[in-house]
Amino acid sequence: MKCEQWYQLADARADDWQALMQAACAKREAHWGRQISYSRKVFIPLTNLCRDRCGYCTFVKQPGQCGAGYLSGAEVLSIVRRGERLGCKEALFSLGEKPERRYPEARAWLADSGYASTLDYLLAQCLRVLQESTLIPHINCGTASIEELSRIKAVCASFGMMLESLSPRLLHKGGAHHACPDKVPKRRLATLAAAGELQLATTSGILIGIGETWRERIDSLYALAELHQRYGHIQEVIVQNFRAKAGTKMAQFPEPTMDDMLRTLTAARLILPVEVSLQAPPNLQEHFERYLQAGINDFGGISPVTQDHINPERAWPAIGEIARRTKACGLQLVERLSLYPAFQPFLRGTPAKAIAAQAGDNGLAREQSHLVAQEA
Ligand SMILES: O=c1nc2n(C[C@H](O)[C@H](O)[C@H](O)CO)c3cc(O)ccc3cc-2c(=O)[nH]1
Ligand SMILES: C[C@H]1O[C@@H](n2cnc3c(N)ncnc32)[C@H](O)[C@@H]1O
Ligand code: SF4
């Protein structure tokens, strides 16, 4: 289907969508089979300070609202050790954008600790996790230059940055991305392209229901598909539904419905190349198993240890519960590693060794080496 035809589906009838959802499921099954994956992770909010002000975000804090401003090395390691004990494989470092450019407090903390920037501190913590634990960092630090990304590549297996939306209107006064230099679509696209140049396995995605139109949503999906066609580095695309949060500028903004999610996921599955994993989070909607009917093959990072620091009021369903509801849909929930196997050749040095150690002894074939062998 052409881009123009997707635009026109904005006001399609339920019947039309039924057939498209079936096509999305058939496409999923042809490549991913009947297995739906998730990654067992710990979430490490290295700093809640951020120079941006997204209208939907409760993660962001001001100096004085978040202790020292940064987690200490000991705090990071303590989260990681708890994760190791519960079989986690991924350490998701998620943090605010370049807070030292906004806050003297952040600059002072970094200088006292011997670091020139948040990125330097992040890289030091990731290296330590890589060297001293069995977990592998997945870094979600926002926009970055190609030089920064090449340093990032040395200490992780994969990088994540949501495109969010290509809509430039969201940057206007009253929009979700007003006063957010790091949410300018061009800068997001440039970061994703630089990751492609470096052959850094990348997770991206869109946040839906933040004021974008259906057309803009389709444009965002096409932009991600084109990036992957050009560089081959997009390992997964997340379609995440906006949740309104008290205390934010968008507290009264309407949330996307289940139908919005199903239609967007269907479009994503049919627009993106099939080898790009399609992920939706199970904790942001009651009947998340319905996403399976729109062609997703992955539920993303789920933690038995930490909360979802981005959506702290939305507890993850227990992994057993997700497995049960997936099975009731005729599919099987399986654990995967943070890096998909097609991307192992991207890795060099320490991250390559770490992934080989995680993938090496699971007794599965190479193409399934990102899956964790199930108990008999
Ligand atoms: O628990 C969460 N994990 C989030 N993840 C992690 C994700 O669920 C997986 O852990 C990774 O995709 C690795 O598989 C993100 C990763 C990104 O690269 C970009 C955005 C997100 C957003 C979230 C999120 O809101 N909550
Ligand atoms: C880490 C990712 O979490 C997403 N994110 C941030 N705030 C919210 C919210 N209120 N609802 C849903 N997703 C959110 C953004 O897409 C960000 O990139
Ligand atoms: S979503 Fe990310 S960039 Fe936006 S305010 Fe929150 S921490 Fe900052």
> How many Cβ atoms are within 10 Å of 94's Cβ, its own excluded?
21
Q: What is the per-residue pLDDT across 196-210, written as a single tens digit (0 to 9) for each?
A: 999 999 999 999 999
CA distance 368 to 373: 9
The finding on whether 280 has its CB within 6 A of some atom of ligand 1 is no
Superfamily of segment(s) 3-8+34-358: Aldolase class I (3.20.20.70)
Q: Whose CA is nearest to atom 18 of ligand 1?
A: 160
Best residue for ligand 2 mutational test, from 48, 60, 207 (most atoms within 8 Å of Cβ): 207
pLDDT tens digits, 319-329: 999 999 999 99
CA angle in degrees (0–180, nearest 5) for 165-167-169? 135
Amino acid in the structure at residue 9: L
Nearest protein CA to atom 14 of ligand 2, as residue: 242
User: Using a 6 Å cutoff on CB, does residue 177 contact ligand 2?
Assistant: no
* pLDDT at residue 368, rounded to an integer: 81
pLDDT digits over 273-301, tens only?
A: 999 999 999 999 999 999 999 999 999 99
Nearest CA to ligand 1 atom 8: 301
pLDDT for 364 beyond 70: yes
Ligand whose nearest atom lies closest to the CA of 59: 3
The per-residue pLDDT for 375 is 56
Contact (Cβ atoms closer than 8 angstroms) between residue 152 and residue 123: yes
Ligand 2 lined by 161 (C-beta under 6 Å) = no
What are 321's two structure tokens? 């519960």
Tell me what ipTM this predicted complex has: 0.92
Domain ranges of the chain: 3-8+34-358
pLDDT for res 278: 98
Centre of ligand 3 to C-alpha 144, Å, is 14
Q: Is 369 in the pocket of ligand 1 (CB under 6 A)?
A: no
DSSP assignments along 16-76, one per residue: HHHHHHHHHHHHHHHHHTTEEEEEEEEEEE-B---S---TT-SS---TTSSTTSB--HHHH
237-to-163, 220, 303 alpha-carbon distances in Å: 10, 11, 19
Q: Let me know if 191 is exposed, middle or buried by CB neighbors in 10 A (0-12, 13-18, 19+).
A: buried
Q: Which residue has the tokens 């096509």?
A: 23
Most informative mutation of 52, 102, 165 for ligand 3 (most atoms within 8 A of CB): 52
Is the Cβ atom of 164 under 6 angstroms away from ligand 3?
Answer: no
Mean pLDDT across the chain: 95
162 lines ligand 2 (CB under 6 A): yes
Per-residue pLDDT band for 376 (boundaries 50, 70, 90) equals very low
245: which residues sit within 8 A by CB, 6+ positions away? 56, 57, 58, 251, 313
Tokens matching residue 290: 């319905």
Site to substitute for ligand 3 among 51, 59, 163, most atoms within 8 A of C-beta: 59
**pLDDT higher than 90, residue 370:** no
Please give the pLDDT value at position 116: 97
The arithmetic mean of pLDDT across residues 363-371, rounded, is 76
Pocket test for ligand 3, best of 43, 44, 46, 50 (most atoms within 8 A of CB): 50
- Ligand sitting nearest the alpha carbon of 207: 2
- Range list of β-strands (E), the chain: 35-45, 90-94, 136-140, 158-160, 202-208, 234-241, 277-279, 298-302, 332-336
Q: Kindly state the percentage of the chain with pLDDT values over 70.
A: 99
Ligand 1 atom with the shortest distance to the CA of 39: 14
CB-ligand 2 contact for 56 (6 Å cutoff): yes
Mean pLDDT on 135-155 = 98
Distance CA 264, CA 261 (A): 5
Distance 23 CA to ligand 3 centre (A): 35
Look at residue 68 in the predicted model and tell me its pLDDT: 85
Using the atom order of ligand 1, give the atom closest to the CA of residue 138: 13
Confidence grade of residue 361 (pLDDT, cut at 50, 70, 90) = low
Could you tell me the distance, in angstroms and rounded to a whole number, from the CA of residue 87 to the centre of ligand 3? 29
Q: Is the whole model's pTM more than 0.90, yes or no?
A: yes
Is 245's C-beta closer than 6 angstroms to any atom of ligand 2? Answer: yes
* pLDDT tens digits, 79-102: 999 999 999 999 999 999 999 999
Q: Report how far ligand 3's centroid is from the alpha carbon of 119 (Å).
A: 16
Q: What is the pLDDT of residue 90?
A: 95
Q: What are phi and psi of 47, to 5 degrees?
A: -150, 140
